[in-house]
Amino acid sequence: MTQATPDTVHEEPPAGPPAAEPPRRSVRVVLLALMIAMLLAMLDNMIIGTAMPTIVGELGGLEHLSWVVTAYTLTTAASTPVWGKLGDMYGRKGIFITSIVVFLLGSALSGMAQTMGQLIGFRGVQGLGAGGLIVGVMAIIGDLIPPRERGRYQGMMAGVMALAMIGGPLVGGTLTDTLGWRWSFYINLPLGAVALAMVTTVLHLPKKRTKARIDYAGAALLTVAITSMVLVTTWGGLEYAWDSGVITGLAGTAVVTTIALLVVESRVAEPVLPLGIFRSRNFSLMTLIGFLVGFVMFGSMTFLPLYQQTVQGASATNSGLLLLPLLLAMMVVSLIAGRVTTRSGRYKIFPVLGGGLMVAGLFLLSTMDTGTSRFVSGCYMAVLGAGLGFLMQITMLVAQNSVEMKDMGVASSTATLFRTVGGSFGVAIMGALFTHRVQDGMAGGAGPGAPAVTEGAAQLDAASLAKLPDAVREAYQSAVAGGTHIVFLVAAFAAVAGFLAAWFVEEVPLRGAGPDGPGAGSGGTGGARAEAEAGGGGDGTGPGSGGGVRAAGFPAAKPV
């Protein structure tokens, strides 16, 4: 028997030569299943957005509308680190399958909801599963494909994101108009069943048995801290004033529980969030950059369509299509960066280029006004998209390369969590600045209709704008352009921090597929060891029946 840690026992690998590297065709089959699972998690909120008016019309509960999205976001963010740690402790495949089942259960129940309260509760179940889907995909890719080879598949992940952002509203509108809003949830069932069948039959990862206790205290503190942070950024300035007792209380709770979490995690044997991973300079830097990427990306995706609909006169559907320059640039650049990384093994230049282009794109977007054409704004978006393309997958790749294989799940979940929290902060801060700027712009005597526009939460579509008096409409468009200016200017200054952080990234060789691969025999920044050949790791990966794909590398364990 082999023993990886005092508390973890793995199945003994069978004797014999190490297995050959998994066939690329089999890898692609598994990756297809993983991409379907990721698409489910990312597509859901995009689809639901267009169906919400119909849902409210049937179920009522307009005052609780925001909770349909908030419940999903909260449970996704809070559960992500826990799913990652459970995968590290008990095996990635079983935990991932469980998350798919939970997500599909939540989808089915949401489709059958009869009241708004039921829908909110079932959306929470759905978000719980979504947290496991996202981190499961990232961690399994980290197990299955060595960092040196992982770059070639980055375009797939960027493509899934682009497909979700562009296709989500179109699919949601079509399903709602033809089959009814409940099919916005039911559509997940056949897709999820395909992913579940493919993962179950084709993917083979090491089985683990552990005697370590689950860090219940750490999981509870982490959940409360994340929930408090997300509620502050979701409710602040909208449901409650920033200086209200509710928001200050939530902020205080977030601070206290975060401090308590650090104390607990420094003492327990199997922390749900191992603080040791932050000793790696690369991991900490990539976590910061990932936070800023989420801050910029989610904020941009929120306010660019608003500018396009209000100032440039685009419809809701067209405003989604007008994001194509950003999304296509992000996808193409991510694919190129991945290919170059695979061939050269070098990656430091990409965070630097990405950070610089992200800053430049945001500064360009901050110059938009009421006279900016769609072509010019599309060029500006392409610059921002190129910057995000250099950063989206490279940050995850370097973060995973900076930790030991046993921490792959928690590293993936931590990087994902910080990007999610960054997105929440970005939307909240940009939203507060935008609303304040629009209100100030409309307060300058734009006519009797100006107060009504301001009370409308600074969001009117093109059809509603056409009904306003000319003076009010022009004042509102100018105010929205001013709000867009301030939010992108602030985002640009925030992105400067990511650009500066990228210069301090250390170029640690990416682990290869075997002992002859790049970086073999050397640890990463976080002490990561060179991966063993496929099927030959000490975690019990060995030849087996079924011809499925096995993890490409695990550190060899010391014999007892």
Please give the structure tokens belonging to residue 37.
């699972």
Phi and psi for 121 in degrees, rounded to 5? Answer: -65, -45
Nearest to 50, CA basis, from 181, 159, 150, 141: 181
Cα–Cα distance, 361 to 352 (Å, whole number): 14
**Where exactly are the structural domains of the chain?**
23-210, 213-273, 276-507
The 8-class DSSP code of residue 553 comes to -
Overall average pLDDT of the 265-278 stretch: 83
Chain centroid to CA 154: 14
* Token digits of residue 75: 């449970």
Q: Where are the alpha helices (DSSP H) in 236-280?
A: 245-265
pLDDT for 556: 33
8 A C-beta contact, residue 212 and residue 75? no
Beta strands 8-10 and 208-210: pairing type? antiparallel
Instruction: Compute the average pLDDT of residues 319-334.
Output: 81
Instruction: Give the tens place of pLDDT for each residue, 337-370.
Output: 878 887 887 888 999 999 999 999 999 999 998 8
Q: For residue range 102-136, list pLDDT tens digits in order.
A: 999 999 999 898 888 888 889 889 988 988 888 88
Separation between Cα atoms, residue 399 and residue 392, nearest integer Å:
12
Residues 358 and 502 sit within 8 Å (Cβ to Cβ): no
Q: Rounded to the nearest 10 degrees, what angle do helices 92-111 and 188-202 cross at?
A: 160
Whether 251 has a pLDDT exceeding 70, the answer reads: yes
Residue with tokens 């979940």: 413
Residue 520 CB contacts under 8 Å (≥ 6 apart), including other chains:
511, 512, 514, 530, 531
Number of Cβ within a 10 Å radius of residue 452: 11
Q: Give CA separation, 419 vs 135, 358, 475, in Å.
A: 12, 16, 36
d(CA 440, CA 436): 6
Residues contacting 553, CB < 8 A, separation 6+: 143, 146, 405, 511, 513, 514, 530, 531, 532, 533, 534, 537
Q: Has residue 189 got a pLDDT over 60?
A: yes
Tens of pLDDT, residue by residue over 3-46, are 444 343 343 344 444 444 445 556 777 788 888 888 887 777 77
Strand partners, 549: 203
Is residue 30 within 8 A of residue 202, CB to CB? The reply is yes
Q: What is the pLDDT of residue 21?
A: 45
Q: Are 478 and 317 in contact (CB under 8 A)?
A: no
Parallel, antiparallel or unpaired: strands 203-204 and 549-550: parallel
Query: Could you name the CATH architecture of 276-507?
Result: Up-down Bundle (1.20)
Q: Which CATH number fits domain 23-210: 3.20.20.70, 2.60.120.380, 1.20.1090.10, 1.20.1250.20?
A: 1.20.1250.20
Phi, psi of 338 (to 5 degrees): -65, -45
Ramachandran class of 489: left when φ > 0, alpha when ψ lies in -120 to 50, beta otherwise? alpha
CB atoms within 10 A of CB 425: 21
Average pLDDT over residues 151-170: 70
CA dist 361 → 231, 318, 319, 455, 492 (Å): 30, 22, 19, 31, 8
Range scoring the smallest mean pLDDT among 14-28, 84-98, 456-470: 14-28
Domain 23-210 identical in fold to domain 276-507:
yes
> 206 pLDDT band (50/70/90 cuts)?
low
CA dihedral 347, 351, 357, 359 (to 10 degrees): -170
Say whether pLDDT at 91 is over 60. yes
Whether 211 and 270 have beta carbons less than 8 Å apart is answered as: no
